[in-house]
Amino acid sequence: MADTLVAILGELVGASGRGPIEADRLDTVLRRHPKDGRGFHSKKEILRAFRETSSLWPIDEDTFAERLRTCPTRSQSGILPVTVLTKPFPCPGRCVFCPDDVRMPKSYLSDEPGCQRALAHDFDPYRQTWSRLAAYHEMGHRTDKVELIVLGGTWSSYPQRYQRWFVARCFEALNDFGDARDLRGPAREAAPEDAPWDRVAAAHRANESAGTRCVGLSLETRPDHVSAAEVLRLRRLGVTKVQLGLQSLSDEVLAANRRGHDVACSRRAMTRLRRAGFKLHVHWMPNLVGADPESDRRDFARLFEDPALCPDELKIYPCSLLETAELMQVHARGEWAPYGHEELVALLVDCLPRVPAWCRVTRVIRDIPSPDIVVGNRQTNLREVVEARIRESGGRLEEIRSREVRGERIPAATLGFSERVYPSQVGEECFLEMSTPDGRIAAFLRLTLPEPAATGDAPEELAGAALLREVHVYGPAASLGERSDGTVQHAGLGAELVQRAARRSRAAGFDSLAVISAVGTRGWYRRLGFRDGVDYQHLPLS
């Protein structure tokens, strides 16, 4: 099939313009050069053929891959997400809504896409990470900047030796993949699930200059497991973002669902994590036992009215009935029923426009296969339906995801700067953003200016420092060290925002600016003048 593949490559390489080739145009090319005279070549086959014949073409692999890229939205936020799951392990929670699949960590189902990948690799962290990177590579994505997302119930309940081993193995996979030629990867490590801190630190150091770097590490846990010691442990592992299952802000609803903690615990956990500089990603569940649409509306408002909460990111998971959940018995007794479709849509139409411009709504439903849902929402495009209703009624969304420039190439000169300030339990929160004249966001930075009285049990290293909690520049994921090509990722927006944050912090009376940097971004911050501390990096402001 070499002749047909070369013919396809010739047409695609010669295509004018930048960015992914339109689907209709690609379809026309593939129909002109059928596979075996019948079917059609896949994008993976075409990309593989390009790699094997790269010397024949006047463009490089990255440029061609961008034209052919499969699932381009995966990297349009600027980084590539790699999700891995921890092994099944007893969860301290007894929530009535959680499914109980013995093959999976608590709350996960074996036929969810990410869970199937984890099961196929026997939950081995190295193989999960490696295989996901290899799949992205086959789809034409750059794999040099990765956000590592670790899921699997309550991370903090796992043995600490397992936590160290899991993170070390994920980083070792990133390090090895960046230098790999054989994308099959090595066999599973025949060793106990244990690793000393020295091994974690060594994997971190290697990743600072690896070909595939971790620019963000996210873990999920429960509010009642966020102690001062746990916060320090998370930071030492290299964590930059914590996903926290609040679920509800009503003590009565939490008790009715046997959540195992109260709202005060959630507020305390959020404050403790914010004071340590973490990005805060919250889960909220409408339609729990004891709730109704009106109480959910009031509950949702508390997320952003309570200074102890104010999450940076939000997942909305409407409660659904799953066969292995204790909720089955509650439903059978007539004590709970799912909202009707229109009832749920109306609730979300009211809630989403209330999300402030500094918060990102990452999900509106959970990716649960329809056959697993006994009763509840099965509409996979619920978010699209809700957003269309909002637009039809003349409403507008301000949250970050609805304003991202994504893959569009925006001239940096057209961008304007703005600052949004809001209070938190820790102090003043400053959301600095660079956006287009019509409000589409190209880059942002989260800065916390702590009040002296809010130090509490904050890490000693952060005493007297302003906190840089996140810097994000949108646009297609760009290669490490690549120079400016007109995309917002190469316009120096991140550095400009850091400079503005430093000036803002100095004006507020702080002597230093501390950043909760990811392992793979340490070098970038050093180039901006930050010095290495124990678990953070610091920029002197005097």
User: For the segment 102-114, what is each residue's pLDDT rounded down to a tens digit?
Assistant: 899 988 988 888 8
Asked if 82 and 202 sit in the same domain, the reply is: yes
The 213-221 sheet, strands edge to edge: 80-85, 145-151, 213-221, 241-247, 279-284, 313-316, 360-363
Question: ∠290-291-296 over CA atoms, to 5°?
Answer: 160
In a domain, 205, yes or no: yes
CATH classification at residue 340: 3.30.750.200
Range of the domain at 469: 412-540
φ, ψ for residue 315 (rounded to 5)?
-110, 130
Say how far apart CA 46 and CA 51 lie, in whole Å: 9
Asked if 429 and 483 sit in the same domain, the reply is: yes
- The reported pLDDT for the residue numbered 489 is 53
Asked if 387 and 293 sit in the same domain, the reply is: yes
Strand partners, 420: 431
- The reported pLDDT for the residue numbered 180 is 65
- The reported pLDDT for the residue numbered 101 is 86
The CA-atom distances, in angstroms, between 266 and each of 212, 307, 400 are 35, 12, 24
Asked if 271 and 375 sit in the same domain, the reply is: yes
Say how far apart CA 231 and CA 227 lie, in whole Å: 6
Domain boundary among 346, 374, 403: 403
In a domain, 230, yes or no: no
- The reported pLDDT for the residue numbered 188 is 60
- The reported pLDDT for the residue numbered 475 is 64
In a domain, 505, yes or no: yes
CA 133 to centroid of chain Cα atoms:
16
Asked if 119 and 256 sit in the same domain, the reply is: no
In a domain, 523, yes or no: yes
Residue with tokens 């904050």: 458
Say how far apart CA 373 and CA 263 lie, in whole Å: 28
- The reported pLDDT for the residue numbered 274 is 97
Asked if 138 and 254 sit in the same domain, the reply is: no
Asked if 365 and 248 sit in the same domain, the reply is: yes
Asked if 11 and 98 sit in the same domain, the reply is: no
φ, ψ for residue 126 (rounded to 5)?
-65, -50
Cβ neighbours for 180, distance < 8 A, ≥ 6 positions apart: none
Domain boundary among 221, 254, 287: 221
Hey, is 107 helix, strand or coil? coil
Strand partners, 283: 245, 315
In a domain, 471, yes or no: yes
Q: Are 261 and 249 in contact (CB under 8 A)?
A: no
Asked if 61 and 203 sit in the same domain, the reply is: no
User: How many domains does the chain fold into?
Assistant: 4
Asked if 64 and 91 sit in the same domain, the reply is: no
Ranges of residues in the chain whose predicted pLDDT is under 50:
74-75, 477-478, 483-484
Say how far apart CA 349 and CA 533 lie, in whole Å: 45
Domain boundary among 23, 48, 68: 68
In a domain, 418, yes or no: yes
Asked if 251 and 375 sit in the same domain, the reply is: yes
Farthest CA pair distance, the chain:
74
**b/e per residue, 151-187, with b = 16+ CB within 10 A?**
bbbbbbebeeebbbbbbbbbbbbbbbbbebeeeebee
